[in-house]
Structure 1
Amino acid sequence: MKSPKSPSKDVTASLDERSREVFRRIVETYLESGDPLGSRNLSRLLPMSLSPASVRNVMADLEDLGLIYSPHISAGRLPTQQGLRFFVDAFMQVGDLTAEERGSIERQIRPPGPAQPMENLLTEASRMLSGLSRGAGLVISAKNDPILKHVEFIRLEPTKALAVLVGEHNQIENRIIDLPVGITASQLTEAANFLNANLAGQTLPELRTQLVKLKQQVAGELDTLSQDLVERGLAVWSGGSDEEKPTRLIVRGRANLLEGLAGSEDVDRLRLLFDDLERKESLIEILNLAESGPGVRIFIGSENKLFSLSGSSLIVAPYRDGEDKIVGAVGVIGPTRLNYSRIVPMVDYTAQLMARLARSGL
């Protein structure tokens, strides 16, 4: 098999009408079926009259440019990774979603409530992208620092308690914390009352900063055990740097990626992809990829180091909160023959709806 070459910067100018048409047909056949296209079949598909011999000459020129290659001797041609990138940048026309597709997405990306908590919403968004794309849908969401509305400590056993935090949008977070030895029920109540009286209306990182400022007041109003409890509770809730902030990655539709695998090599590459998705570092990497440019980003094969070994493509778009901070991303992962023109508007519209929710504080 010929080793693919990188196409030069003036590839577009070097292609005449028939070369562009031959290249486009090869890529479109690959995206639709994954099969190589031979000169005889290709000559029948072209709008202009070209013999199989003439088509082979054009193919040879495209191969010299690094846009296509032959997987086997005497076989048809497939686009190289560079060829796919060239096709996406120079040929692909991104369509718009139908009213039915928009409605389907909107029904699943709606404000969460008692019957639709945020975790379920993220899962549904990922499943929806998977179903529409026939790839694996992914949603990444940073857990925002909620603004505190109410704090309560509930004793579970002599040395453990459930710390309950309620946010301004009625989000509830629970943590089990170790209790100082000898703390009483009244001290639990005293610690919760102090927090509710002094620290409500702030985010968790702000609470820790405020606690330092209130150190003298804490010492004056609370006994030693209650002070210890307050500090333990806030440390468990808000500990860690921004890089360590809990982030959710939800991937649905992995079974779609199993379809059409040709052999053990494909299965091994898919296993590498799944391994990449299990790593915590992949969350930050995907967000970095999404952040690297405005709107929807397309990464084909080894263009991103995260999925380079598995040869997968990633279509991803970030979404932002009301302060224009990136708080998550949505996307689709799949083989390089994804239907890019159809998936790009789906990812884009989903990101817009997720941003709308993020801006509303949900």
Structure 2
Amino acid sequence: MVLRNPGAKEIAAALDERSGEIFRRIVETYLTSGEPLGSRNLSRLLPMALSPASVRNVMSDLEDLGLIYSPHVSAGRLPTQTGLRFFVDAFMQVGNLSPEDRASIDRHVRRDDHTQPVDTLLTEASQMLSGMSRGAGLVITAKADPVLKHVEFIRLAPTKALAVLVGEHDQVENRIIELPAGVTSSQLTEAANFLNAHLAGQTIAEVRAQLEKVKLTVRGELDALSQDLVERGLAIWSGNEGDEKPARLIVRGRANLLEGLEGAEDIDRLRMLFDDLEKKDSMIELLDLAESGPGVRIFIGSENKLFSLSGSSLIVAPYRDGEDRIVGAVGVIGPTRLNYSRIVPMVDYTAQLMSRLSR
């Protein structure tokens, strides 16, 4: 997992053992309780003997570095977003997944047989991540290009028909096509039989790759109206997006993010985040974030524009298919005081498991 930020080295050079320990205690208290830590309580926690006044001097230096801040006068200190990023990069120890967490993920993210709908697997993964992290579990999957099992035309009107495409795992996709003038019911059946004979067992992408060959075969085997019908159907399918863009976003556990929010303004910011997440461009951006580096990626607050208003953090990792192509991502959205050291290996293992199940 690649978690290190180059800027961490410069900040680390400015900290001695004492200031590093004080900073670590402030962040760990925040991640555990969400509360600021004051100099008097902090002096009692330190392994070295320091008076509250000496602790306050170190705190002042940490504030000058932009690592901590005081939420109000006479309060203790909290980490800034810069401080959280530095802590994650320089101090956080990412341990191994506990046997209990591993068993829970294995129990929820499993595919007993290939007839199980993929959506069920994705929903289970999202729900599991939410429950284990107490954040919102997120799964993005790239648009599938299913293998065609059966094609059928159903007349809707004299000049319109419904093309029904059934995939190998019984996925069903419906598309409306214009009918050639004068086409009969028997020609609809003939065209469907032709497509089933020549195209079944292939993906739509594979059909696109051999369009010209199929059209030549059409002209040799069918009458003019049936030819027209088949070519209209092929044109509709060939116009389908050929690139692998995310088309499915599953988020579970949104209610977890409402805990600890204060006032309508915080709730509105969170609502705006989920509204943005539903947009296709945002899904593409999330998948691009997962692709932008190896392993697990951590984005804290305003480091990503999607989360800048809500002040949330994102931990995300890609998963791959049998040809090592990134086909989706799994992750957790939560407040900035997530338990990063526990959730990072959780997301990492879930992504590895999803990769095995996608092959």
TM over 0.5: yes
Q: Give % identity.
A: 78
Please give the per-residue CA displacement for 1:21-78, whole angstroms capped at 9, x wherever unaligned: 1101110111112111111111122222211111101101111111111111211111
SS at structure 2 position matched to 1:214: helix
Call closer, same or farther: CA 1:234–1:136 in 2, change over 3 Å.
farther
Distance 1:237 1:108 in 2: 36
Please give the per-residue CA displacement for 1:81-105, whole angstroms capped at 9, x wherever unaligned: 1110100011101122222221211
Determine the structure 1 residue equivalent to 2:111.
111
Q: Is the 8 A contact 1:158 1:179 kept in 2?
A: no
Does residue 1:39 correspond to 2:39, yes or no? yes
SS at structure 2 position matched to 1:74: coil
Amino acid at match of 1:192: A
Q: Is the 8 A contact 2:146 2:203 kept in 1?
A: yes
- How many pairs were matched up? 353
Does residue 1:267 correspond to 2:252, yes or no? no
Instruction: Name the Cα RMSD after superposition.
Output: 2.3
The within-5 A match list for 1:1-40 is 9-40=9-40
User: Structure 1 length normalisation: TM-score?
Assistant: 0.90
The within-5 A match list for 1:1-362 is 9-111=9-111, 113=113, 116-155=116-155, 159-167=159-167, 169-180=168-179, 181-243=181-243, 245=245, 247-359=247-359
Q: Is the 8 A contact 1:162 1:174 kept in 2?
A: no
In structure 2, list runs of 5 or more residues that go unmatched.
1-6
Amino acid at match of 1:142: A
Distance 1:286 1:109 in 2: 22
Q: Displacement of 1:159 after TM fit?
A: 4.9
Distance 1:134 1:342 in 2: 12
In structure 1, list runs of 5 or more residues that go unmatched.
1-6
SS at structure 1 position matched to 2:210: helix
Q: Is the 8 A contact 1:311 1:335 kept in 2?
A: yes
Call closer, same or farther: CA 1:53–1:90 in 2, change over 3 Å.
same
Amino acid at match of 1:337: R
Q: Is the 8 A contact 2:141 2:246 kept in 1?
A: no
Determine the structure 1 residue equivalent to 2:3.
none
Q: Is the 8 A contact 2:287 2:328 kept in 1?
A: yes
Q: Displacement of 1:185 after TM fit?
A: 2.6
Q: Displacement of 1:243 after TM fit?
A: 4.9
User: Structure 2 length normalisation: TM-score?
Assistant: 0.91
Q: Displacement of 1:165 after TM fit?
A: 2.9
Distance 1:82 1:335 in 2: 15
Distance 1:291 1:35 in 2: 35
Q: Is the 8 A contact 1:148 1:165 kept in 2?
A: yes
SS at structure 1 position matched to 2:268: helix
Distance 2:344 2:64 in 1: 30
